[in-house]
A and B are shown apart, each in its own frame.
Chain A
Amino acid sequence: MMKRILSNSYIGLLLLMLYAPILIIVIFSFTEAKVLGNWTGFSLKLYTSLFNGGIHHSLTSALWNTLIIGAISAFISMFLGTVAAIGIYNLKSRTRKAVQLINSIPILNPDIITAISLFLLFVSLGISQGYTTVILAHISFCTPYVVLSVYPRLRRMNENLYEAALDLGATPFYALRKILLPELRPGMISGFILAFTLSIDDFVVTLFTIGNEGLETLSTYIYADARKGGLTPELRPLSTIIFVTVLVLLLIINQRAAKKGS
């Protein structure tokens, strides 16, 4: 019992540390002060300003772009990474190790180098930059994470199940769908979540593959804005809303899963 209290409070403490800055954002979204950290009294002005278009229209399009780019990159990474993991699993040892090494390069490389190198690549090939190049760039640094999520599931999986299914008359494709993919599904989902998280928070790689047609993501918008006049105060309520929404979604999904379980 004591152990339980101790371990739960340890997790609680860690989560508190992680969420303390976010709490600051939430608290200071309820004040009008321009600078984060000054408190000029309780006020909902920033929220009303956010919804009444007190800020540039481009923030909403930036947010929309971020979500779409994130979703598309994460999806494609998930599929590409899963297929890749299955393929890598079946490679010969030496090739496999080489591919795994190259696969880890985007994870280990500094993001500014990934950004500049992709920039140079697109420039030297004359590819006009925009939505497509951003998505491709995001896929290139997200897929390794998906591969790393899915691959161990393959390792751990009992190959006999697959063989048994084949023996019982299933086509390889049927066996794939019914045996293999359900095993891999948790890895695919966690890979997807990781890829999405990385994509929406990315800055430098997006900055250098975004082209010159006026495309903006939340990151480029926020950074450019912060450099010239301090962080737009309306971003505080925006972040609060995003945070609360995702938290509530999480709770709902968890509740429904728990209900289904019982």
Chain B
Amino acid sequence: MGKRRNWSIPYILFLAFFVLMPLFLIVYYAFTDNSGDFTLEHFRHFGMQPEAMHTFVFSIGVALITTAICLLLGYPAAYILSRMEKKTAKMMVLLFILPMWINFLIRTLATVALFDFLKIPLGQGSLYFGMVYNFLPFMIYPIYNALQKTDHNLIEAAQDLGATPRQVFFRITVPLSTPGVASGIMMVFMPVISTFAIAELLTINNIKLFGTTLQENIYNGMWNYGAALSLIMLLLIGLTSLLNSGGNARAAEEGGLI
């Protein structure tokens, strides 16, 4: 199996070309101004603009709450699914993913219509509904697969040793599912910060997330500033990834989605 190390080469090359190179281009734009000279102006600009900073922190807040809701709703769902028989469970999981096949704009406008129908005004409530709606499947999927893999021998052994169901759950099942939870959080937290369409449509632009700031700047010709903003986001990504994988050895080893 050791020889298969070089199987990773095609993908590493692919990553280098399609992920790292574009990244360097972003870095280039972030550190230069219109005439191509090196400058730190854009970062200073961000630091001095309280409004951008506020939006950024607020988006993190929204992302935290969304992730928490997805976790609270998704974990029990994943747990229940993992206890069903395999065939039904697989079908159920696919049912959770199926709404994603309807185009995003259409299903978001339908959500607006739904809220109109229920006479609920658009605002924070609809924002969180929309966020959870779009990201819940991404939380359920990895947790379900992590729970499904749980070695039942361990659970039986614990039960033989006299553990109560609650102890089994909290001491065995939950810790073993941590890699799934970590994947789920990864796939929900960062994307929520950078989504702007959900905030735009479901709060009629009343609530502004960092994704909107990004889009505004890039679309209105301030590419360098937009690139700087995205670098700041990347820093956040890097920080959380490093800390996450460093702090949770199993998640790093498993390193997986499912």
A residues with CB within 8 A of B: 7-8, 10-11, 14-15, 17-22, 24-25, 28, 36-37, 80-81, 83-84, 86-91, 96-97, 99-114, 116-118, 120-121, 124, 136-137, 139-140, 143, 145, 147-149, 151-153, 155-156, 159, 162, 172, 187, 190, 193-194, 197, 200-201, 203, 218-219, 222-223, 226, 231, 235-236, 239, 242-243, 246-247, 250, 254, 257-258, 261
Q: Which of A91, A136, A200 contacts B5 (CB 8 A)?
A: A91
The binding surface of chain B is classed by DSSP as helix
Chain B: minimal CB distance from A15 (Å): 6
Q: How far is the CA of A15 from the CA of B137 in the complex (A)?
A: 11
By a CB distance below 8 angstroms, the chain B residues around A89 are 1, 4
Pairwise interchain contact A246-B133, C-beta atoms closer than 8 A = no
- Would you call A149 and B5 a contact (CB within 8 A)? no
Q: Is the pair A101, B254 in contact by a Cβ cutoff of 8 Å? A: no
Known: A25-B107, A121-B21, A145-B257. A80 touches B113 (CB 8 A): no
Question: In the complex, how many angstroms separate the beta carbon of B136 from the nearest chain A beta carbon?
Answer: 7
How many residues from B make CB contacts under 8 Å with A?
A: 93
Taking chain A's interface residues, is the majority helix, strand, or loop, or is none over half, making it mixed? Answer: helix
Shortest distance between the CB of A236 and any CB in chain B (Å): 8
B102 pairs with A114, CB closer than 8 A: no
At the interface, yes or no: B218 with Cβ under 8 Å from chain A?
yes
- 7 pairs of A and B residues whose beta carbons are closest in the complex: A87-B8, A152-B256, A110-B194, A148-B257, A117-B22, A84-B11, A87-B7
A108 and B98: CB pair below 8 A? no
Could you tell me the distance in whole angstroms from the C-beta of B156 to the nearest C-beta in chain A? 18
* Residue B214 at the chain A interface, CB threshold 8 Å: yes
Q: List 14 A-B contacts (CB under 8 A).
A: A83-B8, A87-B12, A97-B252, A102-B20, A106-B19, A118-B18, A121-B25, A148-B256, A151-B257, A197-B100, A223-B105, A226-B105, A231-B109, A243-B98
Q: Is the CB of A112 within 8 A of B7?
A: no
Q: Given known contacts A106-B19, A109-B234, A190-B258, is B107 in contact with A22 (CB within 8 Å)? A: yes
- B99 contacts A18, C-beta separation under 8 Å: yes
- Bound-state CA distance A231–B83 (Å) is 42
Q: Do A118 and B22 touch across chains, with their CB atoms under 8 A apart?
A: yes
Q: Which residues of A contact B108 (CB under 8 A)?
A: 21
Interface flags, B80-114, vs A, CB<8A=1, else 0? 11010001001110111111111111111111111
**Which residues of the partner chain A approach B114 to less than 8 Å between Cβ atoms?**
20-21, 24
In the bound assembly, the distance between CA atoms of A100 and B255 in angstroms comes to 8
* Closest partner residue, chain A, to B236 (CB atom): A108
Question: A25 with B110: in contact, given A86-B7, A148-B256, A149-B258 (CB under 8 Å)?
Answer: yes
Inter-chain CA distance A124–B22, complex, in Å, is 10
Q: Are A87 and B257 in contact (CB under 8 A)?
A: no
Produce 1/0 per residue, B1-37, CB < 8 A to A: 1111111111110110011111101100100000000
Cα–Cα distance between A149 and B145 once the two chains are bound (Å): 9
Out of B73, B94, B218, B245, name the residue touching A250 (CB < 8 Å).
B94
Q: Is the CB of A15 within 8 A of B96?
A: yes
From B4, B91, B187, B215, residue with most partner A Cβ within 10 Å: B4
Residues from chain B with a CB closer than 8 A to the CB of A10 are: 76-77, 80
Q: In the assembly, what is the distance between CA of A19 and CA of B146, in Å?
A: 25
Q: Quick check: A11 and B81 within 8 Å, CB to CB?
A: yes
- How many Å lie between the Cα of A7 and that of B10 in the bound state? 45
A118 partner residues in chain B, CB cutoff 8 A: 18, 22
Tell me which of B22, B96, B137, B233 has the highest count of chain A C-beta atoms within 10 A of its own C-beta.
Answer: B22
- A124 adjacent to B25 (CB under 8 Å): yes
**Nearest neighbor of A17 in chain B, beta-carbon distance:** B133
Nearest A-chain residue to B129, judged by Cβ: A17
Question: Which residues on A sit within 8 Å (CB–CB) of B158?
Answer: none
